[in-house]
Amino acid sequence: RTCDQLRCTACDFRVSLFDDYIWDQSCDYLFFRNNMPELSKLRAKMIKKKGARAYACQCSWRSINELTDLQTEQQLRWVCGKH
């Protein structure tokens, strides 16, 4: 279970999450910088995968397939945006 109000302290964007999707390997910084948070544009690089979850802000992205502690990834600057 994860916070659904994550916020990135690097780009000051809300972290979007998409259940049952992963990001295509061709995703890069400019793709997210130019297309967040417009779902219609993001779908171009989303791949359906049951049980996975795709996360993204404007500067970072992750595809998660199993229980993962995102706090261990030093390059992510995602924090709880408070409830």
Per-residue pLDDT of the chain (83 residues; tens, 9 = 90+): 567 789 999 999 999 999 999 999 999 999 999 999 999 999 999 999 999 999 999 999 999 888 877 667 777 888 887 76
Q: C-alpha angle 40/41/46, rounded to 5°? A: 90
- Residue 71 is predicted with a pLDDT of 67
Q: Which contiguous run of DSSP H or E holds residue 41?
A: helix 39-42
What ranges do the domains of the chain cover?
6-62
- Predicted structure pTM score: 0.85
Alpha helices in 1-83 (DSSP H): 29-35, 39-42
| Residue 3 near residue 78, CB atoms below 8 Å | no
pLDDT at position 8, please? 92
Residue 75 tokens read as 């390059």
pLDDT at position 3 is 74
Q: CA-CA distance, 25 to 23, in Å (whole number)?
A: 6
